[in-house]
Amino acid sequence: MQVEPRKSVRTRAGWALVGAIGLWSSQALPAESALPDFTGVWTMHRVPGQQARTGGFGGASASLPFTPEGRKRNEEYKKLLGPENANAAAYCVDYGMPMMMETAGAYPLEFIQKPDQLTIIYEVEGEMRRVYLGGRGVPKDKRLPTRQGYSTGRWDKNVLVVETTDLEDGEDQTHPHSDQAQIVERFALAAGPNKGPRVIEYEMTLTDPVYYTEPVRSSRQWEQVPNGFIISYRCPDEFWQELRDTRRERLRAGKAADTPMSEIYKARELKE
């Protein structure tokens, strides 16, 4: 599989504009002390005697309640993957939603909670989500669709309910969706069994009139990693480092340091 350099098809000028206009807040924040704090590093919950559930690039399940249009789009997408069964992660593309949350397992998640924002960082590629709380957020007319979408949260007693909109088309997700999809997540904090690490009970509901005849759901459990941390990991760095090393070898051998990046991609393809 030949990996081509990632190209942006969307101008980034709008992001600077969003930063310049600032964020708005329309309501007072609830009392911080009364709410669960999800801050910490989390990995898949392991029930004794059972293997931890992890996600993966297995493609969409045939049992999903596809509309005729959704099934058509999904079948077409499968044909794009080629004999190597290509996937977005092999091209260093962010996982996006909901796959970022569904695949977290061997690679952990870090939650950083403040009264007006929950930041979720996935160790793979340092992929990040911002969940705006307490009415804080970006004005609707300044939002841009992304693979992670735009997320706002509200408290239903001790459960954090997160609604995500402004998604890009996600035909490559384990739960594929169109840009009309909406995702609702519920995060509940519970004590771990047998005085073990705390556990997040997670539920996800995705609705999309283009792809599905009814909402689709999934659930996960994450357990806290005491004193845990995540490591910076971005696969584009590896390609750049390999290009430098290869050209350095040629330079020291008295040859032209002109190895193209395409050769690095090809070498990686042969290894995999």
pTM of this structure: 0.79
Q: In whole angstroms, what separates CA 5 from the centre of its chain?
A: 20
69-82, pLDDT tens digit by residue?
A: 999 999 999 999 88
- For domain 36-224, the CATH architecture is Beta Barrel (2.40)
∠ at Cα 268 (146, 88), nearest 5°?
Answer: 20
Least confident of 29-43, 112-126, 237-251: 29-43
What are the tens digits of pLDDT across the range 30-45? Answer: 455 588 999 999 999 8
Q: Measured between alpha carbons, how far is 154 from 163 in angstroms, rounded to an integer?
A: 9
Domain extents for the chain? 36-224, 235-249+256-271
